[in-house]
Structure 1
């Protein structure tokens, strides 16, 4: 398994924000049960989901936490030639108050509408802890990936501070990023996440991840990358690919 395969697999997980969660059916033993779920990545780089206590997949996970999450390139014209990733994982419900608070703060940025039904109904946060992943980058590019996750260096106050600053003071820069990346120019458009490899934009109700031209391990490096992108004529090539 190459380092680039792990990186490309993680980038696909970052770029997408919904997938098919497959669990072991409780009511139909022996059969897999698939359902569509939105997700974002937590501070450890693990998929974070918010699911109802009465949902079938929740009952399944309570009985057997082994599951998988399948994500693929959105709007792919040739699904067999497109990238896709199957993450085999152990699902764990968050029960620590501090962990739930941190999960809610992150998840609500990505999916603000979820705050209402989370408070009004019986929904809980679950983390999918990857065990092994199968990445297909197209014909002939097939890899088992043992480590797909990468911890977010900035998770917490550092990330929130950068996000709030960009959204409050640099809307023109955000609009320029959207134009450079040829993303839909819809409103509202805001940064919702920053990691060492790139950043997430929420445009309308869609989530888009854009890669930095190089790895950014400090807030200063992130600032330099965002300033450079705000003045760029084209989106720069990722030098870490």
Structure 2
């Protein structure tokens, strides 16, 4: 497996928070059915979606769990020259209560409005388990990849603790990250997630993933990376992280 394509594919998956979910139509057999869904990544780096039990794509998945998720670069001027990633997957509905609670805790941070409709209506969490990936990084950069997802060492109490601490005590640092990354912010930034390669900020309704200069494998690594960014004048760049 080539390292760079897998890394770039994963970064696209991390940076974009919605995609086109294609399922096998139950109402129109033989036809694919596409719908837009928001997602965040779970502990294993796989897309986690929250969908209604009455939605057409849910009925389709209940009959045939094979699906795909197409993710493209937001705001691309030329979609054919921009990166895009297609995940071929098998969808699994979360049934275990502990798994559902863990999924909800993470998903709500990314999409806080989902808390209300998840509780008020019949919505379920589904995990898209990768079978194969197709990444196109631009003209001529076309790759079939067997492994793109990367397990997140922080999902759970460790991530929740770091997120809570940063939001409660380091709003100035979060504002500096926004400026450093050149993002437009009409509202204060809120940290919503951390992975080994970067972190996720929510600015109003918009989500942004920002990379660390080097991979972080412990909370201490994360702390040192965040402190370095809070003191930086330009966003640091590092070597490629293994895919």
TM-score of the aligned structures, taking structure 1 as reference length: 0.99
Q: Is the 8 A contact 1:24 1:66 kept in 2?
A: yes
TM-score of the aligned structures, taking structure 2 as reference length: 0.98
Is 1:163 aligned to 2:169, yes or no?
no
1:113 deviates by 0.2
Is 1:40 aligned to 2:40, yes or no?
yes
Q: Which moves more between the two structures, 186-195 or 210-219? A: 186-195
- Count of aligned residue pairs for this structure pair: 241
CA distance in 1, matches of 2:49, 2:43: 13
Q: Residue by residue, what CA displacement relative to the aligned partner does 1:66-115 show, whole Å, maximum 9, x if unpaired?
A: 00000000000111110000000000000000000000000000000000
Match of 1:31 in 2: 31
- 1:1-241 equivalences in 2 (<5 Å): 1-240=1-240
Q: Residue by residue, what CA displacement relative to the aligned partner does 1:29-52 show, whole Å, maximum 9, x if unpaired?
A: 000000000000001101000000
- What stretches of structure 1 of length at least 5 have no aligned partner? none
CA distance in 2, matches of 1:108, 1:232: 30
CA distance in 1, matches of 2:228, 2:39: 30
Q: Is the 8 A contact 1:213 1:240 kept in 2?
A: no
1:151 deviates by 0.5
1:240 deviates by 2.5
- What stretches of structure 2 of length at least 5 have no aligned partner? none
CA distance in 1, matches of 2:145, 2:138: 15
Runs of 4+ in 1 over 3 A off after TM superposition: none
Q: Residue by residue, what CA displacement relative to the aligned partner does 1:101-158 show, whole Å, maximum 9, x if unpaired?
A: 0000000000000000000000000000010000000011110110111000011111
**What is the DSSP-based 3-state SS (H/G/I as helix, E as strand, rest coil) of the residue aligned with 2:5?**
helix
CA distance in 1, matches of 2:104, 2:186: 25
CA distance in 2, matches of 1:232, 1:2: 31
CA RMSD of aligned residues (A): 0.7
